[in-house]
Amino acid sequence: MSAAGSTDILTAHGIRPTANRILIAEALAGAGRPVSLTEIEDLVDTIDKSGIFRTLMLFREHHLVHTIEDGDAVRYELCHSHDHGSDDDLHPHFYCEKCHRTFCLDGIAVPAVPVPPGYTAESVTYLLKGICPDCR
């Protein structure tokens, strides 16, 4: 993603584009898969951990990223929908138990799970674990 593309996406989500925010958005886009805070630190070595974390929380608040908890780390991924009002990126993820990377399984529907009366589901995490093709 170019700096101009990052600026457009940040603006569309109601986020003021700063140099650091653009770098973090570009790093997330370039990663091509959900990445942890530590992995983002490695990708963007000019911004400290607290600055990256604050930016990720801002991105999350504005529905630019969503999080995946895979049992190893919390990982961050740009939302595909780019709707600043909600995060409707419902797709499963795959966690490789060998290389500890998490991958999006785009194009695969998350099955509906009925909840008992009185419960309201706010989000869904659908995670499969196993060995990725690179590690097989």
Instruction: Annotate 46-103 with DSSP letters as a single string.
Output: TS-HHHHHHHHHHHHHTTSEEEEE-SS-EEEEE-SS--TT-------EEEETTT--EE
Nearest to 19 by CA among 1, 46, 53, 58: 46
Each domain of the chain, given as residue ranges in start order, spans 3-130
| pTM for this entry | 0.77
What is the tens place of the pLDDT at every residue in 14-68?
999 999 999 999 999 999 889 999 999 999 999 999 999 999 999 999 989 988 8
CA torsion angle for 47, 51, 53, 56 (degrees, to 10)?
A: -90
The hierarchical CATH code for the domain 3-130 is 1.10.10.10
